[in-house]
Amino acid sequence: MSYTVIAEGIRKSFGAQVVLDGVDLALDRGSVFGLLGPNGAGKTTLVRILATLMRPDSGRATVAGHDLLTDPVGVKGAISLTGQYAAVDDVLTGRENLEMMAGLLHLGRRAARARAAELLAEFDLTDARDRRVRTYSGGMRRRLDLAASMIRRPELLFLDEPTTGLDPRSREQLWGTVRHLAAQDVTILLTTQYLEEADQLADTVGMLTAGRIVARGTPDELKSSLGTEIVRLRFPDARAYQSALAALAPSAGGTGFTIEAADDGALRIDIPTDGSSARLRDLLDLLVATGGSTAAGSPRVSTHRPSLDDVFLALTGTADTAGATPAPRSATRSELAR
Amino acid sequence: MSSLTYDIVDSRIMVGRCLRRSWRDPEAFFTALMLPIILMLLFVYVFGGALRDHGPYVDYVVPGLIVLCAGFGAGTTAVALATDLAGGIVDRFRSMPIRASAILLGQVAASLTRNLLATALVIGVGLGIGWRPTTSVWRWAGALGLIVLFILALSWLAAAVGLLAGGPEAANSFTFVLMFLPYVSTAFVPTDTMPSVLRGFAENQPFTPIIETMRGLWMGHTSTGASTAHEALIALAWTLGLLALSWPAATHLFRRTTTH
Ligand SMILES: Nc1ncnc2c1ncn2[C@@H]1O[C@H](COP(=O)(O)OP(=O)(O)OP(=O)(O)O)[C@@H](O)[C@H]1O
Ligand SMILES: [Mg+2]
């Protein structure tokens, strides 16, 4: 297996505030890694460190075969960065921006012009190419920033919240670009607040909280790590609903089921299970036995897996008190894959 | 291509960018061009009548106006660099495989270009309204050489200030200081009518020998009575000293500001 990024024990503090407290990372070549974490978790800080913009206090990393600390120029030659805030010159026009960046990548004047035109078309900016970036909308600016990162195909592409402020169509378009690049062996480190985006794009997801990556795995592994699958029952009438509610109440005892949520108006009950068919059968048997399911009042059953949002909330819910309690233990791949 | 060629390409692109930005800020561009013209006319036709002890005032005032405009231009440079640092663009440049110094070099070279243009304007307007300096090529070369050196030193100082200021607004106050300093020098009036404290300051601050050297070279005599060679030595010591300090200081500050 070849890695594009190997980082070990990255630490970074700002004054007394410890932002990164020993981050380890290994990104497979051509994979998409989704870095998630609440605001202020240190995602941007980690990206900036790996993109040579900031030095870690300690730790080491190899990016595309170059040592981050001793060969930053080699690293710069292999990466492209789209930071959290658009890094374009708003006095210049869109075309001038791209031609300038292409020039700085030593494409040569003619090639630079051609590449800029291609990218302007690809990112739907051709009509606005000769307008100053100052007059662009937030989404257009964002797209120009992305285009600037694609002038040449990097080995590693950093995308720090790339779709914040994009409309659904542009977002979809960017997702397509990301998939396309990943298929061409470009490794992508993506941070995002939209967990659906990580779910859609990322091969591996890491949750950064309290300075560490507290969980990592494929989105599926992380979801099953919660160990639950929600069974949702929707009752056709109040009588069946009430019988089920009574049968599942803790005072009924012995069934081992708990009610996560019940909605009197919608006649709906959510019950967490382990997702096995045996457990589901137990539940249905119980309903039949207690009158919660009759020929006339049979509930509709649906199961729903936890989303990454649920995982995110479960893992970061304690983030505020992380100072008082020990940081959550890292969930390893094998634990998650159980 | 060699890495030196790349460095030259990078720096050229950076200078081009900075100059484009200057021309596109119509307000700043207009001010930078109008300032020399308006000041020249103001000093010569409004104040000049009261100040004509030593021949036509325009003969006296040209070096002072050049220094004043250079001070204003340096302020512009400090603001431009502080603006760049406040935005995200420097981060993008720094994530690219280009020498970081090209970013700084671009600003300084653009500053030099802008200020030489302002200098040319002062000289041109001066000649147009009756300034009659020497026609010796060597004396002109000496005066222009000093101007280039002085503007270069001031541009590096401006870069250092822009890096230290922490924001465009703070950097802007530098313009104020540099535009005020020439008034307490021999730029517009000789020092002999000033009270002694001011006079001590005026005679020993760096702008005075620089102005006097230009005056000596162009008009054949200084206003302080010292020889041109004497003033030139002090002027060179100041400018080279300033350059030797501000260049490495700006480079160091740039590295420090951009790598946390
Ligand atoms: N240059 C800096 N100086 C001081 N503190 C900083 C600096 N950069 C970041 N921080 C602090 O480090 C913490 C992590 O910031 P960072 O921007 O990495 O978070 P993030 O995970 O990207 O957050 P968000 O989701 O809001 O973008 C924050 O508390 C921030 O205030
Ligand atoms: Mg961030």
In this complex, the residue of A52, A91, A103 whose CB is nearest that of residue B13 is: A103
B5-27 mean pLDDT: 89
Residue ranges covered by each domain of chain A:
3-215, 224-336
Please state, rounded to an integer, the average pLDDT across all residues of chain A: 85
Q: Which protein residue's CA is at the shortest distance from atom 6 of ligand 1? A: A14
Residue ranges covered by each domain of chain B:
3-259
The 3-state secondary structure of chain B, one letter per residue = CCHHHHHHHHHHHHHHHHHHHHHHCHHHHHHHHHHHHHHHHHHHHHHHHHHCCCCCHHHHHHHHHHHHHHHHHHHHHHHHHHHHHHCCHHHHHHHCCCCCHHHHHHHHHHHHHHHHHHHHHHHHHHHHCCCCCCCCHHHHHHHHHHHHHHHHHHHHHHHHHHHHHCCHHHHHHHHHHHHHHHHHCCCCCCHHHCCHHHHHHHHHCCHHHHHHHHHHHHHCCCCCCCCHHHHHHHHHHHHHHHHHHHHHHHHHHHHHHHCC
Cα A138 to ligand 2 centre (Å): 17
At the topology level, CATH places domain A3-215 in Rossmann fold (3.40.50)
A245-250 mean pLDDT: 81
Between A1 and A79, where is the model more confident? A79
What is the ipTM, given to two decimal places? 0.86
Cα A85 to ligand 2 centre (Å): 9
Tens of pLDDT, residue by residue over A96-137, are 999 999 999 999 899 999 999 999 998 889 999 999 999 999
User: Is residue A253 very low, low, confident or very high in pLDDT (cuts 50, 70, 90)?
Assistant: low
Cα A91 to ligand 2 centre (Å): 25
Pick from A22, A24, A35: which is nearest to A316 by CA? Answer: A35
A294-315 mean pLDDT: 78
> What's the pTM value of the predicted model, to 2 decimals?
0.80
How far off is chain B from A2, nearest CA to CA, in Å? 23
Chain A contact residues (CB < 8 Å to B)? 48, 51-55, 73, 76-77, 79-81, 83, 85-92, 96, 100-101, 103-106, 132, 148
pLDDT(A180) > 80 = yes
Tens of pLDDT, residue by residue over A15-60, are 999 999 999 999 999 999 999 988 999 999 999 999 999 999 999 9
User: Is residue A327 very low, low, confident or very high in pLDDT (cuts 50, 70, 90)?
Assistant: very low
Among A146-155, B19-28, B77-86, B113-122, which stretch is predicted with the lowest mean pLDDT?
Answer: B19-28
Residues with CB under 6 A from ligand 1: A 14, 19, 37, 39-45, 84; B 260
B173-178 mean pLDDT: 82
At the topology level, CATH places domain A224-336 in Alpha-Beta Plaits (3.30.70)
Highest mean pLDDT among A217-231, B59-73, B237-251: B237-251
- Nearest chain B residue to A108 by CA distance is B9
Tens of pLDDT, residue by residue over A186-226, are 999 999 888 888 888 999 999 999 899 988 888 888 777 76
Q: Which protein residue's CA is at the shortest distance from atom 25 of ligand 1? A: A39
What pLDDT is stored for residue A317 in this prediction? 61
What pLDDT is stored for residue A98 in this prediction? 97
Contacts of A56 in chain B (CB under 8 A): none
Tell me if A87 and B91 make a contact (CB, 8 A cut-off).
yes
What pLDDT is stored for residue A302 in this prediction? 87
Tens of pLDDT, residue by residue over A255-287, are 678 787 788 888 888 888 887 888 888 888 888
The share of chain A scoring above pLDDT 90, in percent, equals 45
Tell me if A87 and B89 make a contact (CB, 8 A cut-off).
yes
pLDDT(A332) > 50 = no
